[in-house]
Chains A and B, each alone.
Chain A
Amino acid sequence: MNRSDLFDAIKKYDFSFFGISTAIFLIGILNLYSATHATTESSIYTTQLMWYLFSLVVGFIVSLIQPKNFFRYAYFAYLTCVVLLALVLVVGQKGMGAQRWILLGPFRLQPSELTKIGAVLALSRWFSLHEPDKEMNLKDLILPFIIAFIPTLLIVVEPDLGTGLLVILIFLVMAFYRRLNLKTITVIVIFGIISGGLMYQFGLKDYQKKRVMTFIDPSADAKGSGYNAIQSKIAIGSGQFLGKGFKKSTQASLNYLPENHTDFAFSVFNEEHGFIGALFLISLYVILFWRYLWLSQSVSKIFDSIAAVGLMAIFFWHTFVNMGMVMGLMPVVGLPLPFVSYGGSALLTFGICNGIATSMSNSRNLF
């Protein structure tokens, strides 16, 4: 490769996905610093930074892969994830009462994170190969639903209800994009309401039920998540229009918000930067989602297009559920806010998503 080739490659390289994400991450790490600087965990922002840099490296490597390989290895990646999930249940490490990790030497592998991507790739391949020119009805959905349901089941029994349901939610977005007919959409909505009710009745662990109950009625809570919800609301509300200012959070620094650097990071951000800050941050997220949707219409392969929507769905559901949760619109299910919540595995997942998107974007002009 000579000098002009390299220059050419850089010119063609789509930096937008990593760029927008890094902007969000910078806000996130400042927020993380602010939320934890007064506690014993004041050094975790360096850990977060390391993880982000690592995720950038991994994402960059992924972006160099030819998009046709994502198609080729989609099922393989998916099956690997399913095997790892099954393995977690057998030999997994326990964290916070749930079995989510496999120890690989010094690394803690959380297969449920990678599964989100594996499921998106497998579903994209299936959707792109089965009459992609026609609208789909309920019968056409049976097989892709099974593809999504197997990992969901394995994740839910870990138990990690939030991530498990996420896979189904991503599946629904992808199916919607792959053109479901109206009748099918109606059936799914009705089915969703009924199965949600049944699952609440029989399938949920006590703490999960309580989270849902807490959402409906915060006073019915026995374990403090209602307390979290109320404190989170106080934090967000007290930020008002302009916020209290950087490092001025009273709710977070007094440890009123027990998970203020993970699930509740957004409420600390709101307390310090107010409505205007939140508007800015949300705008960044919307730009990122918009870029993914733009990608889905710019690529020339239907597989790439569906995958782009699937990857967008991963980001979208994380963001929407987390924000809804901290402001009391949704039950507390413990999904991180992309690039803002503390947590290495999630950063890595999002980095890989961006890598795949970038690779697809770079290949647009090759033909």
Chain B
Amino acid sequence: MFNEEELVRIHKTRADLTGNIVLVCFLLILSRLWYLQIYKGKTFYIYSLENRLRKDNIQAPRGMIFSRDNQILVQNIPRFDAIITPQYLKNKKETIAKLSSILDMTSDQILKTLQKNQGQASYIPVVIKKNITDKELAIIETENSKMPGVSVTTFISREYAEKEIGSHLLGYISEISPSQLPKYRKRDNINYKLGDFIGQAGIEEQHDLTLRGDDGYEFVEVDARGRLKKHFRNENLFGEIENKIARPGNNMRLTIDRDLQESGYKSLEGKVGSAVALDVNTGEILAMVSRPAFDPSQFSRGLTPEYWSSLINDDKNPLRDRTIQEHYSPGSVFKTITAIAALEEGIVDENTEVICNGSFRLGRRVFHCWKKNGHGKVNLSKSISESCDVYYYKIGTQIDIDVLAKYASSLGLGKKSGVALPRETTGLIPTKDWKKKRNGQEWHKGETLSCVIGQSFVLTTPIQLAQAYATIANGGKLLRPYLVKEVFSSTGELIDKGEIVEEDHIKFKPRTMELVKKGLRDVVNSPSGTAWWHKGRGIKMAGKTGTSQVMSFSADKIYQKCEEKEYKHRHHGVFAAYAPYDDPKIAVAIVVEHGCHGSSAAAPVAESIITTYMKKYYPDIYEKNIQQEKNIRIVIPKKPIVEEEDTPVLPVDLEDKPEGE
């Protein structure tokens, strides 16, 4: 044991030393205080009384967005806001009254705005009216000296040249919300503050960091009334202050063609639905339209409550991008995939023939063909072109659902397309495992019969359908759709380029492709095909119609005319296509919600987009095709031969049928 008291005593020198060091530290503090308060005190005192140092933010211009044909899609236009800086506000009542007459507002409104911002520091300006007119701007500028505290700031407004055309794809920017603030600060490692604009949807959101510049700031000296002074009064004292120049964001050129986008937008006029067009050889997205749409410019200028409530109260949900965020049963469009799987697996071949008499029986259940009286003798190509359900029911009894899912997946269905846009949905291709996980039940054979014709659990997004048909068109290359062709710095240097990404490459048997493509070609180009009426001119389109049943009907209603049903019960019209069939360049997929038929509702949209594309990019081929068609001299019938194409029919249990059947 040590003698404790002795131990304490031997540490005394260190205690004294510690005390001396503490004293020295505080002498250092005091000498610094002496320097600041006595030596430089007068300078600081004058400065604190007479002058104010203000840090002004400089907004960096956001990058512009161009279409592939170099048209401006999104740009920045300077607008002006009227502001009040509370710190410098004098004669409050008079000044506000004067300002209210200029801005066509009531004094109460201005006071309310000021009150709302009372919590913040008084040197921070409060925006009274956004986006003032040139006239208001002129008056404020000239009357400025009579209204201390009132001034004008420039505001760079984000404006979308085509308003609604492309709204979902481009997205919009708006002020960062308090709940986003901490999340995004962490994610981007950028010190966002309230009032900062960030991309909130579409490309604006996805490529926010590319498009956004780097804001700058400058220190300015203002007098007691808040007026700017040109130079710092105390050069020597604040010589260490430096300003930061704002760095503009990068510009982007998209793969989107402005004219195709417009063509898709216009042909969906008055409809609820969407269209996607892809370059089949690169995966570039040529057009991507969803309707109803909205005007993104409204968001960056500060949304009016009326416009906002009109958007969120619309049950058609205009803010939703139906090309990637909505999934539907693909209906008969899916038969192409079933056909490919059946051919590859050897379940059917070119010689397989099925007799369709309008229905198919499996156990106790009866599965109907959309054509009540049946198609008669059907082979594979005819099964596609006339969309015979019974042919596929037959396949359905022989194919394993997991095998079908494998083929669907290799064509891009049931998984995200990978397009660089936020909130893409996955769709669904059912498997046995999936069902077991979902509700613990085994897969029923009858369910396969519904899936082979693209009903029941099968769900796809329009972009997936376009991707699948592009893959069929190019012979098996599954390409990831992309939107950004090039990224340029503000000085015009090329920074980044969109690249072709091959997700998968399936080697189909040549015979498979031949048969399927013939069927798809006949859908549009044979008078008995389901889309013959919308074959267009000079485009050599091949495609597949589909109808997606929204709900199941009782037996007596299954053949009721779609148009006579209530709007929300009507089928969705689906159409997927590519063109020209002899050398495919473009693939499209269209879904028109409650459009009843794939042919009459969706196919015209495809026809319009593809025609615009061929005319613009391949005028020679287009002209040649027109000439060829003239030579063939097909007489186009006045009425569609196929009147009621493709209405899908969910299976009906025999017990449910009326007695006597």
Contacts from A to B (Cβ < 8 Å): 40, 94, 97, 132-133, 173, 176-179, 206-207, 217-220, 222-224, 227, 230-231, 233-241, 250-251, 254-256, 258, 270-271, 274-275, 278-279, 282, 285-286, 289-290, 293, 296-297, 299-302, 305, 309, 312, 316, 320, 323-324, 327-329
* Chain B residues in 8 Å Cβ range of A40: 118-119
B25→A177 contact, CB < 8 A: no
Contact residue among A132, A217, A251, A328 (Cβ-Cβ distance under 8 Å from B2): A132
Compute how far the CA of A233 lies from the CA of B241 in the bound complex, rounded to whole angstroms. Answer: 14
B433-486, CB < 8 A from A:
none
* Chain A residues in 8 Å Cβ range of B119: 40
Q: Chain B: which residue is nearest A205 at the CB level?
A: B189
Q: Distance (Å) between the CB of A129 and the closest chain B CB? A: 10
Q: Distance (Å) between the CB of B245 and the closest chain A CB? A: 12
A223→B191 contact, CB < 8 A: yes
A282→B30 contact, CB < 8 A: yes
* Cβ of B308 under 8 Å from chain A: no
* Chain A residues in 8 Å Cβ range of B53: 227, 230-231, 234
Known: A278-B33, A300-B4, A302-B8. A241 touches B44 (CB 8 A): no
Compute how far the CA of A282 lies from the CA of B38 in the bound complex, rounded to whole angstroms. Answer: 17
* Cβ of B14 under 8 Å from chain A: yes
A97→B123 contact, CB < 8 A: no
Q: Distance (Å) between the CB of B17 and the closest chain A CB? A: 8
Q: Chain B: which residue is nearest A222 at the CB level?
A: B244
* Chain A residues in 8 Å Cβ range of B240: 217-219
Can you name 16 A-B residue pairings with CB atoms under 8 Å? A133-B7, A178-B11, A179-B11, A237-B40, A237-B48, A238-B47, A240-B45, A255-B122, A258-B121, A270-B33, A270-B37, A289-B19, A302-B2, A302-B7, A312-B18, A320-B26
Supplied contacts A240-B44, A293-B18, 14 more A-B pairs, CB within 8 Å: A133-B2, A179-B10, A220-B242, A230-B53, A231-B53, A234-B44, A236-B37, A236-B44, A240-B37, A241-B41, A255-B122, A256-B123, A296-B11, A305-B8
Chain B interface size, as a band, is: 35 or more
Q: Distance (Å) between the CB of A259 and the closest chain B CB? A: 12
* Chain B residues in 8 Å Cβ range of A207: 191
A234→B8 contact, CB < 8 A: no
Q: Distance (Å) between the CB of B348 and the closest chain A CB? A: 59
B182→A97 contact, CB < 8 A: yes
B22→A237 contact, CB < 8 A: no
* Chain B residues in 8 Å Cβ range of A236: 33, 36-37, 44
Contact residue among B15, B29, B45, B47 (Cβ-Cβ distance under 8 Å from A297): B15
Q: Chain B: which residue is nearest A173 at the CB level?
A: B18
* Cβ of B509 under 8 Å from chain A: no
Q: Chain A: which residue is nearest B124 at the CB level?
A: A255
Compute how far the CA of A218 lies from the CA of B40 in the bound complex, rounded to whole angstroms. Answer: 18
* Chain A residues in 8 Å Cβ range of B238: 230
B241→A218 contact, CB < 8 A: yes
Compute how far the CA of A17 lies from the CA of B14 in the bound complex, rounded to whole angstroms. Answer: 22
Compute how far the CA of A118 lies from the CA of B26 in the bound complex, rounded to whole angstroms. Answer: 27
Compute how far the CA of A94 lies from the CA of B183 in the bound complex, rounded to whole angstroms. Answer: 12
* Chain A residues in 8 Å Cβ range of B19: 289-290, 293
B581-619, CB < 8 A from A:
none
B44→A237 contact, CB < 8 A: yes
Q: Distance (Å) between the CB of B366 and the closest chain A CB? A: 59
* Chain A residues in 8 Å Cβ range of B242: 219-220
Known: A323-B29, A324-B29. A297 touches B36 (CB 8 A): no
* Chain A residues in 8 Å Cβ range of B37: 236-237, 239-241, 270, 274-275, 278
Compute how far the CA of A222 lies from the CA of B47 in the bound complex, rounded to whole angstroms. Answer: 23
Compute how far the CA of A97 lies from the CA of B186 in the bound complex, rounded to whole angstroms. Answer: 8
Q: Chain A: which residue is nearest B22 at the CB level?
A: A289
* Cβ of B55 under 8 Å from chain A: yes
* Cβ of B87 under 8 Å from chain A: yes
* Cβ of B49 under 8 Å from chain A: yes
- The 8 A CB mask of B228-253 against A (1 = contact, 0 = none) is 00000000001011101000000000
B26→A238 contact, CB < 8 A: no
Compute how far the CA of A222 lies from the CA of B244 in the bound complex, rounded to whole angstroms. Answer: 8
* Cβ of B12 under 8 Å from chain A: yes
Compute how far the CA of A328 lies from the CA of B33 in the bound complex, rounded to whole angstroms. Answer: 10
Compute how far the CA of A178 lies from the CA of B52 in the bound complex, rounded to whole angstroms. Answer: 51
Compute how far the CA of A267 lies from the CA of B399 in the bound complex, rounded to whole angstroms. Answer: 81
A94→B40 contact, CB < 8 A: no
* Chain A residues in 8 Å Cβ range of B17: 176
* Cβ of B76 under 8 Å from chain A: no
B4→A302 contact, CB < 8 A: yes
B171-201, CB < 8 A from A:
182, 185-186, 189, 191
Compute how far the CA of A300 lies from the CA of B5 in the bound complex, rounded to whole angstroms. Answer: 5
A133→B14 contact, CB < 8 A: no
Contact residue among A179, A254, A299 (Cβ-Cβ distance under 8 Å from B123): A254
A250→B29 contact, CB < 8 A: no
Q: Distance (Å) between the CB of A361 and the closest chain B CB? A: 14
Q: Chain B: which residue is nearest A316 at the CB level?
A: B22
A297→B182 contact, CB < 8 A: no
Compute how far the CA of A219 lies from the CA of B186 in the bound complex, rounded to whole angstroms. Answer: 25
B2→A296 contact, CB < 8 A: no
A286→B41 contact, CB < 8 A: no
A97→B41 contact, CB < 8 A: no
Q: Chain B: which residue is nearest A242 at the CB level?
A: B37
Q: Distance (Å) between the CB of B58 and the closest chain A CB? A: 12
